[in-house]
Chains A and B, each alone.
Chain A
Amino acid sequence: MTTPLPDGQGRFGEFGGRYAPETLMPALLKLEDAFQSAWADPTFHEELGELLRTFVGRPTPVYRADRLSTQLGLNLLLKREDLAHTGAHKINNTMGQALLTRRMGKPRIIAETGAGQHGVATATVCSLLGMECAVYMGVKDIERQALNVYRMELLGAKVIPVTSGAATLKDAVSEAMRDWVSTVEDTHYIIGSVVGPHPYPWMVRELQKVIGEELIVQLDGSSLARTPADVIVACVGGGSNSIGVFHPYLDEDVELVGVEAAGHGLETKEHGASLVAGSPGVLHGAETYMLQDDEGQVREAHSISAGLDYPGVGPEHAYFKEAGLARYVSVTDSEALEAFALLSETEGIIPALESAHAIAWVLREAESLAGKTVVVNLSGRGDKDVDQVKALNG
């Protein structure tokens, strides 16, 4: 058994912690207590489990991608998080945090969103539970994810445009935190990834690890005589889908591969590869790997995928990297686009551009992966990206 992470101070090794304005600190401490008590309470798990089954559609299936497997000479399995309600793994987290918010007696929820998936997942659970919802979104992302903006509005959420900085995910997180500094007494902030000050990286991981826990059971089932996984691959932006699938596998003999966004290429500085090409620092309340200049100013990230367009990463991934528990790699925008097209044509599945990064790495490494069982966590579906890809292809 590995040491329980994080420790009492929210540390994963030297990473994590709680670097937040004092105004938020009491709320963060209360949130930690509230989640700890809820997570130890069987009635909370019962209610969450029931909603995950009947509303979200869990467990999500594992699908054998036979045509692509044959083409690549390996055994490719897809964990179908794209089939979860609202089209991505994000709802595993928002469902849990919304129930927690109700338990804490707060009537209002805020969230940030990049690709719009977390915003939609938050708006959805707020609608389900009858809570007020505001979602911060960069204006650049509002443009490239117009469909998701409308979905959030249909679900009754207020989408608040963020114009500061590069007007993408990083700035949306910052604005949501500023809102929270002002409204903390009646508002809960549902962060969409395993980032932010303690207890978020821990809480969001606990809510997302259902992905890996299901996978272990699904691959163990003797009914289909499935082979256990040799390699598990997931894209890493903030890192919640990847932590969710990696964490339950920490004690297993499986290679874990996190795929970051190399954007226009690591040499161009226009990328989102905090682990592969960044350095340690503090971003959005946690010590982690991030993109920054020599004087500690945060650099703007770039990725074709709004969900990976973020200059930081969850502190647990930083720890996994340092401890050698997972391997982190990157693929470019154009590689992701090729994978997006190939999976669509070959398997009848249009993946989210985020998830296409994980597929792209498998395509690139097919030779070294020959004969192995490779599971890709297909974190989301690509409907939201179709307009953008269509425009790029002219």
Chain B
Amino acid sequence: MVDCDGRAALEEIFRKASQENRAVLLPYLTAGLPDPISSLELFVAMAEAGADGFEVGIPYSDPLMDGPTIHEAGLAALRSGTSLGGGLEIAGAVAKETGKPVIAMSYVNPVLRIGIEKFATRSAELGISAVILADLPVDESAPFQEAFDAAGLGTVLFVAPTTGMERLRAVVQAEPVFLYGIAEVGVTGEREEASQRVGDLAASVRSVTDIPLVLGVGISTPDHAARAAAVADGVIVGSALVRRVLDAPDVASATESLSSAVSDLAKAVRV
């Protein structure tokens, strides 16, 4: 019997937010930043400030989808000793401590290295809800999704502004737990301007499916988040939060800075 609690907990926050007529807020931080113990504290602070769940980045040496901020954070976390195993443990601890669903974000290679099934089983045991692999397109996702399904984990798949309708249908047909809508043609990172393309992306997705759409990449401010929340079911904010941790002189000020940012973002997804 597989344990479906993790995936169910994630589905539940979308249901609840939908009843409240708002989007969910999923802040992203790199696991192990600035160190394994403080990392957990930062997530707890964000939970108290109004996050609905989290995307926890597993540090990776060569993150092709990530811009300089998250790349730098990943290398820093690797240096302080958090790799795949440690990253998953932190992700699990975040789920347990905050009681909120956690999506682990990694790249394909570390998962293959320890073995897809072992990765899936371990993630499920730790209470992780779903997995995002940034370099896994739907074309290659079948063996991963099979193992994640068997372990009761959700699989997240991407749609981008460059994704045409035919590919969008293929992604939808794979039944991901949610669609990660890439709001900008580009890698993760802060942007000054709000994306002009999320409206079209959301409309295309809505025309073919009710699977929750969560927008991420380049969403940096409460204003960006509010615009994304107006057309989607959820919003991911990553680099803007990671930057606050990298720039903070100590853990206490990082915590304070994150709490204030997440609290503003949580208000923004509710308007």
Which residues of A line the B interface, CB within 8 A? 9, 17-27, 164-165, 170, 174, 177-178, 181-185, 280-285, 287, 290, 292-298
Is B64's CB under 8 angstroms from A295's CB?
no
User: For the complex, is B245 an interface residue (Cβ under 8 Å from A)?
Assistant: no
User: For the complex, is B229 an interface residue (Cβ under 8 Å from A)?
Assistant: no
Is B186's CB under 8 angstroms from A182's CB?
yes
- Docked Cα-Cα span, A20 to B167, in Å, equals 14
Is B64's CB under 8 angstroms from A281's CB?
no
Complex contacts, B164 vs chain A, CB 8 Å = 26
4 residue pairs, one from A and one from B, having the closest CB atoms: A296-B113, A296-B110, A22-B158, A182-B186
Complex contacts, A164 vs chain B, CB 8 Å = 68, 71, 75
Is B137's CB under 8 angstroms from A19's CB?
yes
User: For the complex, is B271 an interface residue (Cβ under 8 Å from A)?
Assistant: no
| Closest chain A residue, CB of each to CB of B158 | A22
CB distance from A259 to the nearest CB of B (A): 25
Is B62's CB under 8 angstroms from A22's CB?
no
Which residues of B line the A interface, CB within 8 A? 60-62, 64-68, 71, 75, 78, 83-85, 107-114, 134-137, 139-140, 157-164, 167, 182, 185-187
Complex contacts, B109 vs chain A, CB 8 Å = 281-283, 290, 292, 296, 298
Is B163's CB under 8 angstroms from A295's CB?
no
Is B65's CB under 8 angstroms from A181's CB?
yes
A20-B137, A182-B186, A282-B108 given; A295·B160 CB < 8 A: no
Complex contacts, A181 vs chain B, CB 8 Å = 64-65, 185-187
| Closest chain B residue, CB of each to CB of A23 | B160
CB distance from B212 to the nearest CB of A (A): 17
CB distance from B194 to the nearest CB of A (A): 17
Complex contacts, B85 vs chain A, CB 8 Å = 295
26 CB < 8 A contacts A-B: A17-B140, A18-B137, A19-B135, A20-B137, A22-B137, A22-B159, A22-B182, A25-B139, A178-B67, A183-B185, A184-B185, A185-B162, A280-B112, A281-B112, A282-B109, A283-B109, A284-B62, A293-B83, A295-B83, A295-B84, A295-B85, A296-B60, A296-B113, A296-B114, A297-B60, A297-B61
Interface majority SS on A: helix, strand, loop or mixed? mixed
- Docked Cα-Cα span, A182 to B182, in Å, equals 11
Complex contacts, A22 vs chain B, CB 8 Å = 137, 157-160, 162-163, 182
Complex contacts, A26 vs chain B, CB 8 Å = 160, 162-164, 167
Complex contacts, B159 vs chain A, CB 8 Å = 22
- Docked Cα-Cα span, A285 to B111, in Å, equals 14
Complex contacts, A17 vs chain B, CB 8 Å = 140
Complex contacts, B135 vs chain A, CB 8 Å = 19-21, 282, 285
CB distance from A277 to the nearest CB of B (A): 16
- Docked Cα-Cα span, A26 to B186, in Å, equals 14
Is B162's CB under 8 angstroms from A19's CB?
no
Determine which of A18, A23, A182, A296 lies in contact with B111 in the assembled complex, contact meaning CB atoms within 8 Å: A296
CB distance from B119 to the nearest CB of A (A): 10
A174-B62, A295-B83 given; A25·B185 CB < 8 A: no
Tell me which of B83, B85, B109, B160 has the highest count of chain A C-beta atoms within 10 A of its own C-beta: B109
Is A294's CB under 8 angstroms from B113's CB?
yes
CB distance from B105 to the nearest CB of A (A): 12
- Docked Cα-Cα span, A9 to B68, in Å, equals 31
Complex contacts, B68 vs chain A, CB 8 Å = 164
Tell me which of A17, A184, A282, A298 has the highest count of chain B C-beta atoms within 10 A of its own C-beta: A282
- Docked Cα-Cα span, A164 to B186, in Å, equals 18
- Docked Cα-Cα span, A283 to B135, in Å, equals 10
Determine which of A21, A165, A294, A295 lies in contact with B134 in the assembled complex, contact meaning CB atoms within 8 Å: A21
Determine which of A21, A27, A290 lies in contact with B64 in the assembled complex, contact meaning CB atoms within 8 Å: A21
| Closest chain B residue, CB of each to CB of A26 | B162
Complex contacts, A19 vs chain B, CB 8 Å = 108, 135-137, 140
- Docked Cα-Cα span, A285 to B140, in Å, equals 11
Determine which of B83, B114, B136, B162 lies in contact with A23 in the assembled complex, contact meaning CB atoms within 8 Å: B162
CB distance from A114 to the nearest CB of B (A): 16
CB distance from B36 to the nearest CB of A (A): 15
Complex contacts, B110 vs chain A, CB 8 Å = 295-297
Complex contacts, A281 vs chain B, CB 8 Å = 109, 112-113
Complex contacts, B140 vs chain A, CB 8 Å = 17-19
Complex contacts, B114 vs chain A, CB 8 Å = 295-296
- Docked Cα-Cα span, A177 to B107, in Å, equals 15
Complex contacts, A290 vs chain B, CB 8 Å = 109
Complex contacts, A27 vs chain B, CB 8 Å = 162
